[in-house]
């Protein structure tokens, strides 16, 4: 900060002080220092020249000599406050600024502002509030300076309250398998919390050379006991001799979006995409000019349904320096022109490090523009039913401090959060990755996930198959993806509180049907082995998402999503004929059960005909309780026996 002296009602810049050194003794008398000690003035003038030349340590030594000559030398105390602030020695800065304002508060009111800034760095917020309020009583402040002071005052009041009302915070270091003596940061995990990908910044230069660093992605997984394996470099083609960073991972760990600068993009930093098949990643692809600009584009985060990417950009049209933007995917899978999230989220300052939770409604981000502790703080905002974002909520102290906090990642369960910091002494190096329990008020909506593999029923070979999860209440697709072609694996996230149909399909195979209820929030994961049967006579599937009222045969609305899947399958495979069969448990009379099963099968038969399937390709039959697939001695077994099946009777 520039040191100025108040002289006859105006501010005298530091550069004028330097002129004193070349003037005669008579000329120097034009300004009267707050000291009569000539040696003190000589040291002070030397310090002024050194400070202007950014020789901070030498300037400090000269000021110490000046203050030794005259401990009450006001100008030396003021400049010592500036020097020690620039040296990040805020304790000394506070000492000297306080000496200056006690000596003559009206001489240079800026001292109150500078003092408050240093006090904030020491978390002395109540004192900062007091000194900022005094500073604002001086009417000669510029509009810009007044606005800065008012913003800092609001921040200090917030911080003073936050420190007195701390939130739960218990950070834990995951250990040396992840952290090292280098910087580790930007952690992201898969929904099952079994894989983590993060950035490591390594020193590349040799001793004696100018320090150069390289940012690469590292990955590690958990062993069966829940311990992390030693992290490995993600390698080519993702990592290069350049820097890669600021990334996000889809919940299944198969889609990576990240930032690279000066690579092959549209100038500056751009967003890139790569897909994993087995253990191999595809060559990264630039997201293109529709998403990227000729400015800085970085820090992507993607919704669990893959339909929206939020990211940070300094492009024109924003609300401040760096804003959060979003781009959505159209029905053809193309990203659309990004739009700004608006001034509820974005400010005239910097918004960065967005993370959208897999519930697709809870956004965490960092900002220095909203009221906070100082620097960048972490906030949470929720997408309302109106499509607007709620007012950002500061996560509180001591999650946020006077230092910069950012890059928060929250697990699918919503109970834990990961971030990077160097403020704890028991780490492994500089920036380390830590995790902690997230207190309830700032948790997202819990998310369940379904994880499994798709295989050929006959050969056991893994299959690349399409699958979609349908919200049975709305009949809309909640998420859709493709299983890994190398190992057949898949993982999809499901917001809790709903019931879902899972359909898996592949050309040449019968589709697979399953049902999940996520209304019980305590059950947050499901494991599933999907076996697809090749299309041939005698193969059948259970339509697990065809529902009827108890004791009735009318189709419930929740059934139509799956029945429409059956319609699409039959229209695509016009060379096959099928039998629709109805089955019951053994509750009640056998004759009544048989009649009920016949009518239920007929209901499905009639729906398929109504949707355009030729009646010549369809038959329906009821089997009552005669063909159970489970024991009727338990409720679970009886539920499995109450079913509708579709069997191939003919392949032409």
List, as one string, the DSSP characters of 237-255: TT--SS-EEEEEE-TTS-E
Nearest CA to 300 out of 260, 350, 349 is that of: 260
> What pLDDT is attached to residue 167?
97
Question: Tokens in use for 472?
Answer: 């049975």
In a domain, 407, yes or no: yes
Residue 172 buriedness (CB in 10 A; 0-12 / 13-18 / 19+): exposed
**Cβ–Cβ under 8 Å, residues 513 and 541:** yes
For residue 503, the domain's CATH number is 2.60.40.2190
Answer yes or no: do 102 and 247 share one domain.
no
List, for residues 137-175, the tens digit of each pLDDT value: 998 778 899 999 998 999 999 999 999 999 999 999 999
The pLDDT > 70 percentage for the chain reads 94
In a domain, 169, yes or no: no
Contacts of 160 (CB under 8 A, 6+ apart): 125, 126, 128, 129
List, for residues 39-78, the tens digit of each pLDDT value: 999 999 999 999 999 999 999 999 999 999 999 999 999 9
In a domain, 135, yes or no: yes
Give DSSP secondary structure letters for 568-632.
Answer: HHHHH-TTEEEEEEEE--SSS-HHHHHHHHHHHHHHHHHHHHHTT--GGGEEEEE-TTSS-SS-T
- Tally of domains within the chain: 4
Residue 165 buriedness (CB in 10 A; 0-12 / 13-18 / 19+): exposed
Answer yes or no: do 472 and 350 share one domain.
no
Answer yes or no: do 257 and 359 share one domain.
yes
Answer yes or no: do 459 and 525 share one domain.
yes
Q: The pTM is what?
A: 0.83
In 10 A of CB 515, how many CB atoms?
17
In a domain, 174, yes or no: no
In a domain, 276, yes or no: yes
> What pLDDT is attached to residue 265?
62
List, for residues 484-535, the tens digit of each pLDDT value: 989 999 998 888 888 888 899 999 999 999 988 887 766 678 888 999 999 9
**Cβ–Cβ under 8 Å, residues 192 and 449:** yes
Residue 639 buriedness (CB in 10 A; 0-12 / 13-18 / 19+): exposed
In a domain, 9, yes or no: yes
Answer yes or no: do 253 and 381 share one domain.
yes
Domain boundary among 442, 462, 494: 442
In a domain, 333, yes or no: yes
Answer yes or no: do 316 and 224 share one domain.
yes
In 10 A of CB 201, how many CB atoms?
17
List, for residues 223-266, the tens digit of each pLDDT value: 999 999 999 999 999 998 888 889 999 999 999 999 988 677 66
List, for residues 429-443, the tens digit of each pLDDT value: 889 999 999 999 999
Structural domain that includes position 652 = 535-652
Distance of CA 302 to the CA centre of its chain: 8
DSSP state of 558: G
Q: What span, in angstroms and rounded, lies between the C-alpha atoms of 97 and 77? A: 7
For residue 145, the domain's CATH number is 1.25.40.10
**Cβ–Cβ under 8 Å, residues 490 and 451:** yes
- Going by pLDDT thresholds of 50, 70 and 90, the confidence category of residue 317 is very high
Answer yes or no: do 53 and 193 share one domain.
no
Domain boundary among 442, 459, 489: 442
Answer yes or no: do 507 and 606 share one domain.
no
Dihedral (CA of 368, 371, 374, 378) sign: negative
**Cβ–Cβ under 8 Å, residues 275 and 291:** no
Return the residue matching tokens 């599933």.
528
List, for residues 364-396, the tens digit of each pLDDT value: 999 999 989 988 999 999 999 999 999 999 999
Answer yes or no: do 465 and 564 share one domain.
no
Domain boundary among 164, 194, 222: 164
Q: What span, in angstroms and rounded, lies between the C-alpha atoms of 629 and 543? A: 14
In a domain, 82, yes or no: yes
**Cβ–Cβ under 8 Å, residues 363 and 319:** no
Give the number of residues written for the chain.
652
Answer yes or no: do 485 and 558 share one domain.
no
Answer yes or no: do 349 and 225 share one domain.
yes
For residue 438, the domain's CATH number is 2.120.10.30
CA 79 to each of CA 7, 148, 269: distance values in angstroms, whole numbers, following the listed order? 16, 21, 40
Answer yes or no: do 403 and 470 share one domain.
no
> What is the bridge-based pairing of β-strands 10-13 and 4-7?
antiparallel
């Amino acid at each position: 900060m520039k040191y100025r002296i108040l002289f006859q009602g105006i501010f005298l810049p530091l550069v004028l002080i330097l002129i004193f050194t070349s003037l005669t003794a008579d000329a120097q008398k034009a300004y009267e220092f707050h000291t009569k000690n000539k040696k003190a003035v000589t040291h002070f003038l030397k310090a002024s020249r050194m400070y202007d030349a950014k020789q901070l340590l030498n300037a400090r030594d000269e000021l110490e000599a000046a203050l030794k000559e005259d401990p009450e030398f006001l100008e030396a105390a003021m400049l010592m406050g500036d020097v020690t602030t620039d040296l990040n020695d805020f304790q000394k800065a506070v000492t000297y600024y306080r000496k200056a304002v006690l000596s003559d508060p009206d001489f240079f009111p800026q001292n109150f502002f500078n003092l408050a800034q240093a006090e904030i760095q020491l978390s002395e917020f109540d004192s900062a509030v007091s000194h900022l309020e005094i500073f604002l009583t001086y009417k000669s402040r510029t509009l810009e300076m007044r606005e800065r002071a008012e913003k800092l005052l609001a921040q200090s009041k917030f911080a003073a309250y936050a420190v007195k009302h701390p939130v739960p915070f218990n950070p834990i270091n995951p250990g040396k398998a992840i952290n090292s003596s280098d910087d580790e940061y930007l952690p992201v995990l898969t929904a099952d919390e079994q894989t983590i990908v993060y950035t490591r910044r390594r020193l590349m230069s040799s001793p004696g050379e100018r320090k150069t660093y390289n940012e690469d992605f590292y990955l590690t997984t958990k062993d069966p006991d829940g311990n992390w394996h030693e992290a490995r470099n993600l390698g080519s083609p993702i990592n290069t001799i350049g820097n890669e960073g600021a990334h996000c991972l889809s919940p299944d760990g198969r889609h990576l979006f990240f930032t690279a600068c000066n690579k092959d993009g549209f100038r500056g930093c751009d967003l890139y995409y790569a897909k994993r098949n087995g253990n191999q990643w595809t060559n990264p692809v630039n997201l293109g000019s529709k998403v990227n600009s000729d400015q800085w584009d970085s820090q992507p985060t993607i919704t669990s349904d893959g339909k929206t990417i939020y990211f940070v950009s300094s492009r024109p049209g924003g609300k401040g320096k760096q804003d959060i933007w979003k781009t959505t995917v159209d029905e053809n899978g193309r990203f659309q022109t990004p739009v700004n999230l608006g001034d509820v989220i974005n400010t005239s300052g910097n918004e960065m490090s967005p993370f959208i939770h897999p519930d697709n409604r809870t956004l965490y981000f960092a900002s220095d523009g909203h009221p906070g502790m100082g620097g960048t703080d972490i906030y949470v905002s929720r997408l309302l039913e109106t499509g607007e974002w709620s007012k950002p909520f500061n996560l509180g102290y001591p999650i946020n401090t006077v230092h910069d906090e950012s890059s928060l990642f929250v697990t699918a369960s919503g109970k834990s959060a990961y971030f990077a910091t160097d403020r704890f002494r028991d780490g492994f190096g500089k920036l380390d990755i830590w995790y902690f329990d997230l207190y309830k008020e700032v948790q997202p909506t819990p998310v369940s996930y379904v994880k499994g593999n798709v295989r050929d029923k006959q050969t056991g070979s893994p299959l690349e198959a399409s699958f979609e999860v349908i919200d049975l209440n709305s009949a809309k697709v909640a998420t859709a993806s493709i299983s890994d072609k190398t190992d057949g694996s898949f993982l999809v996230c499901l917001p809790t509180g709903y019931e879902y149909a899972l359909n898996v399909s592949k050309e040449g195979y019968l589709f697979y049907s399953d049902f999940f209820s996520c209304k019980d929030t305590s059950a947050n994961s499901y494991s599933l082995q999907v076996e697809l049967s090749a299309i041939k006579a005698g193969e059948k599937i259970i339509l697990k998402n065809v529902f009827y009222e108890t004791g009735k045969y009318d189709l419930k609305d929740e059934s139509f999503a799956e029945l429409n899947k059956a319609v699409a399958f039959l229209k695509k495979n016009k060379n096959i004929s099928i039998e629709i069969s109805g089955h019951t448990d053994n509750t009640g009379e056998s004759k009544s059960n048989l009649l009920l099963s016949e009518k239920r099968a007929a209901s499905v038969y009639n729906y398929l005909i109504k949707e355009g399937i030729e009646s010549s390709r369809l038959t329906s039959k009821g089997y009552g309780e005669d063909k159970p697939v489970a024991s009727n001695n338990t409720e679970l077994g009886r539920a499995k026996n109450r079913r509708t099946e579709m069997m191939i009777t003919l392949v032409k």
